[in-house]
Chain A
Amino acid sequence: MLKVAGIEKGIVIDHITAGKGLKIFQKLNLDKLKTPAVLLMNVPSKQAGQKDIIKIQDDLDIDLTVLGLIDPNITVNYIVNDKIEKKMELKIPEKVKGLFECKNPRCITSVDQYAEAEFTLVPNGKIQYRCSYCEELTEYKL
């Protein structure tokens, strides 16, 4: 099996749904980093069968809201001296601003730069957000 060494200090984004790792890598702009970062794909997982993992050897300020939006199954581990210092479980954010646009072409946010929609998660079992201006539901897709 492919082996990748642990990191002494940095961040491990674990339990990424297999197939989403590359998109998350790009979304977090990790390809612009100057420090080592690896993306592991299709790693065997007891829970999900397969998963993706990202390891970053840096003190990066990760946007947990965007990660929660992309994949709420993710856990983010902060590593110091080869040990997990902090473990963050993610959840789907209740409020989102600036991460995606309202899908309604008649919404004021599509033409007026002063109007930045705040989206509120709708409790209907889907990842759908209600626009604060036009109330249309937008489903987030990576």
Chain B
Amino acid sequence: MTLKGRHLVDPNDMTLEELQQIIDLGLKMYQDPGAYSEFCKGKILGTLFYEPSTRTRLSFESAMLRMGGSILGFSDANTSSVKKGESIADTIRVLDDYADVLVMRHPREGAPKLASEFSTVPIINGGDGGHQHPTQTLTDLITIQNYRGEIKDLKVAFCGDLLFGRTVHSLLKTLSRFENISFVLISPPELKIPYHLRDELINKYQVEIVETTSLEEYLPEIDILYMTRIQKERFFNEEDYIKLKDSYILNRSKLKNAKEDLLVLHPLPRVNEISYDVDDDPRARYFEQATLGVYVRMALMALLLGVA
């Protein structure tokens, strides 16, 4: 089983064994980063960010720099040839000669898949519209593995924007493939998961799903609480955003009824959906999650480049 030369457009591009291979290597790198500091010497990561991103882009850049590689790319479509109307295919046909692995974030859903059809080097989806965000999923999985020891027998709750939240969509689809996982989906009625995803979870993966509007109702039963931000940039009008933005706020008093070994995760950035008084609760692991994200991206790139 080799991941060399492969793309990661959708988490389902990888088998569970392959995902586990990335997670295991990521945890080794996390334990002993110095041992991997020259792993990607001479390799170049191309960052194609057609949509603003701080966390994902810097996490990728940090990951490549920590392995001794170099980076090039753009972080704003307005300053690139895209502004001049260049197609994704043409951009990729050129940039795949400039870099050894490419990470792409794009507002259009399916754009990284299109890029993968024209690229001679691995394409990593760094988030496409409201569709998928597979490296955030890897980040979520490595965090669960690190704090729970294994990824199975879990009741996982997702709270917030489940309609546009690509991190939610990727993680739901991926966790559905693991053993004995069930979901509690907490959202306002306007932000429930997309119909096509519900159809897939129920008919293809046959997972147990409970949908609710209450954050408190199922809190005592759940093992992982995945909070998400209501994303202003996904709304067509501000009125709808303002109506929904404060739907859920997790604070320390609400956590009183939750399990002792609950894991509170968040893909970040947060706005106000997790109060600051939760940060020093030992169950809050979203900052560690962001740290682990660098190591799992290191592992992913090392495997796709065939240096690990």
What residues make up the interface of A, taking CB atoms closer than 8 Å to B? 104, 106-115, 117, 122-124, 130-137
What residues make up the interface of B, taking CB atoms closer than 8 Å to A? 87-89, 106-111, 113-114, 117-118, 128-131, 194-197, 199-200, 203
User: A122: nearest residue on chain B (CB-CB)?
Assistant: B199
Q: A106-B129, A130-B196, A135-B131 are in contact. Are A115 and B203 (CB under 8 A)?
A: no
> Is B110 within 8 A of A107, CB to CB?
yes
Complex-state Cα separation, A110 to B194, whole angstroms: 19
Q: Least Cβ distance of A104 to chain B in Å?
A: 6
A111 — which chain B residues lie within 8 A by C-beta? 108
Q: A122-B199, A136-B196, A137-B199 are in contact. Are A114 and B87 (CB under 8 A)?
A: yes
Q: Least Cβ distance of B194 to chain A in Å?
A: 7
Q: Least Cβ distance of B92 to chain A in Å?
A: 10
Q: Which of A104, A113, A124 contacts B109 (CB 8 A)?
A: A104
B196 — which chain A residues lie within 8 A by C-beta? 130, 135-137
B109 — which chain A residues lie within 8 A by C-beta? 104, 106-108, 133-136
> Is A107 within 8 A of B108, CB to CB?
yes
> Is A114 within 8 A of B88, CB to CB?
yes
Complex-state Cα separation, A132 to B196, whole angstroms: 13
Q: Least Cβ distance of B115 to chain A in Å?
A: 9
> Is B114 within 8 A of A114, CB to CB?
yes
Q: Shortest 5 CB-CB distances between A and B: which pairs? A: A133-B110, A134-B109, A108-B110, A108-B108, A137-B196
Secondary structure type dominating chain A contacts:
loop
B128 — which chain A residues lie within 8 A by C-beta? 108
> Is B203 within 8 A of A123, CB to CB?
yes
Q: A106-B130, A107-B110 are in contact. Are A136 and B199 (CB under 8 A)?
A: no
B199 — which chain A residues lie within 8 A by C-beta? 122, 124, 137
B88 — which chain A residues lie within 8 A by C-beta? 108, 112, 114
Complex-state Cα separation, A112 to B196, whole angstroms: 23
> Is B129 within 8 A of A133, CB to CB?
no
User: A117: nearest residue on chain B (CB-CB)?
Assistant: B110
Q: Which of A110, A111, A130, A134 has the most CB of B within 10 A?
A: A134
Q: Least Cβ distance of A48 to chain B in Å?
A: 30
> Is B203 within 8 A of A114, CB to CB?
no
